[in-house]
Amino acid sequence: MKLVVKRGSRLRAAMVGVLVGVVALWLPAQQLADEDDSLPVPESGEELGIEQQEEQQRLRTPIDDWRDTLMYGIDSEVIALLETLLEQREDRLHQEIRDLYDSSHNPRLQRRILDFFNEMRWDGAETQALRMLGQPREYPNDLVLSAVRYVSAAVESPAPETLQALHGIAGSAQMMLAETAIRAIGQRGAEDDIGPLLDRLNDRRTPGALRAAVVLALGELRAVDAVEELIQISSNTSEDGTVRRYAADSLGKIGDPRAIDTLSALVSSDDTLLRAYAVNGIGHFEGGEVERVLTNALRDSFWRVRVSALQGIARHNMTDAVAAVIFRAERDPEVPVRSQAFETLSALDDQRARTFLQDFVQDERNSEALRISALQKMLEADPAAHATVIEKLIDAEYDKAQSRILDQIGRILSTSETTVPNRIYDRLLHHPNFVIQIYGVRAAGRHGLSGLRSRVSEMAEEPYHQAVRRTARDALERM
């Protein structure tokens, strides 16, 4: 009995100790709460700045996100971003992209950056390209190849060091590199580069692929000194077929009258591809006989010959051939020929051509694919000249749930260098589809159309789609 009382006493003592500890913990907390009763209690999440962060996010524009991706994104995200920037013809981030090239150690990303500058025709990365061209063995071949192509396409007046480096690469054992470098010399070289190219052409040790590249380069350089050699090559049935075709093409580009008889004879060649190149070559010359050859070539059974003839007709603005070109646009069995016919009609200064194209794109009995092809050629050539037809097409397509034609109109107008009346962009801005709205917003920002600022300002706020709001804020900065 005495033992039980003793254990009970210990239990009571433990319970008292627990209660004392709870009170000791509760009192300071209660006192602290009493002392802070005068302070406002923060709203949920506000103490962490969540609402402020969300507001900042809502105020961001696409270019803010793009800059963040360039600064912090993984390489695959940057490569995907470059595709977006190219599609939108976005040119405000070139410096940041070039800086990223300099800091990157990923050859695949560097190659894609050079390809991006190539397609955007921006010449501000020549120094970066020259690093590789000067030491091609230190870099992967595909990266050097992109550097060569970049200089060829985008750098209008390369530095002497760049051209010298291209001549060095032209002697590379890597055939693709050497061939591309020779073509780049043709695109960006000068009279001083003709002599070394002729030496390569006359050196029978030069492989066929490089001889073909040299022949093309001589044409690009308008090398009159090469005419006799090119005439001989194009007429020589023992010569490599590709080299002969390229010789015919280069004779046309050089434009020396000594080549006319040779090219006229080649138009009747049994080699279908040689005929196509000969027609293209003769299309660079002037005169009634040339026009007769081009018109007759529209009847050739090989579709590439017909394409070459159509290109020559556009080059010479041969309005007398409008009826024949319209026939090809309506009835040719080959899609590439019809597409080139649309392009030729867009280039001709003739009301019949314009009327045909406008009627064709509005006629829903024609296939949608061909209507879109004709529409693209029209708008790429001169959208302002077809403003009335654009409006009619928008009216016809406006209420359709999905319209590829309306999408093409928006896409082209949003990237075109030429403007159309504001009322056309306004129709896009009021369309219920947010993608069409974005096309209109991009166009307004791209061209700084202040007359549309009020509408774009509305679209920068709720209830418009988040992508629309962000694009609108970006456009406002450019207006």
Q: Which residue's structure tokens are 């230190």?
A: 138
pLDDT, tens digit, 9 for 90 and up, residues 358-403:
999 999 999 999 999 999 999 999 999 999 999 999 999 999 989 9
Measured distance CA(210)–CA(201) in Å, rounded: 8
pLDDT range class, residue 60, cuts 50, 70, 90: confident
Q: Which fold has domain 382-479?
A: Leucine-rich Repeat Variant (1.25.10)
**Residue 317 region by backbone torsions, left for phi larger than 0, else alpha for psi between -120 and 50, else beta:** left
What's phi and psi for 409, nearest 5 deg?
-60, -50
Quick check: 22 pLDDT over 70? no
Quick check: 427 pLDDT over 90? yes
Token couple for 370: 């061909």
Global pTM value: 0.78
Percent of the chain at pLDDT exceeding 90: 83
pLDDT range class, residue 59, cuts 50, 70, 90: low
Measured distance CA(300)–CA(313) in Å, rounded: 15
Token couple for 436: 């069409």
CA angle 369, 439, 381 (to 5 degrees): 55
Contact 473, 460 (CB under 8 A): yes
What does the pLDDT read at residue 56?
53
Q: Which residue's structure tokens are 């010449």?
A: 123
Question: Considering the chain, what is the average pLDDT of its residues?
Answer: 89
pLDDT range class, residue 39, cuts 50, 70, 90: very low
Quick check: 26 pLDDT over 70? no
Q: Domain extents for the chain?
A: 382-479
What's phi and psi for 90, nearest 5 deg?
-80, 120
Residue 444 neighbours by CB distance under 10 Å: 29
Q: Which residue's structure tokens are 């992209």?
A: 97
Quick check: 11 pLDDT over 70? no
Query: How many angstroms separate the Cα of 243 from the Cα of each of 173, 180, 207, 213, 272?
Result: 20, 16, 11, 8, 14
Residue 162 neighbours by CB distance under 10 Å: 21
What does the pLDDT read at residue 204?
84
Quick check: 477 pLDDT over 80? yes
Three-state secondary structure string covering 154-202: HCCCCCHHHHHHHHHHHCCCCHHHHHHHHHHHHHHCCHHHHHHHHHHHH
Single-letter amino acid, residue 274: L
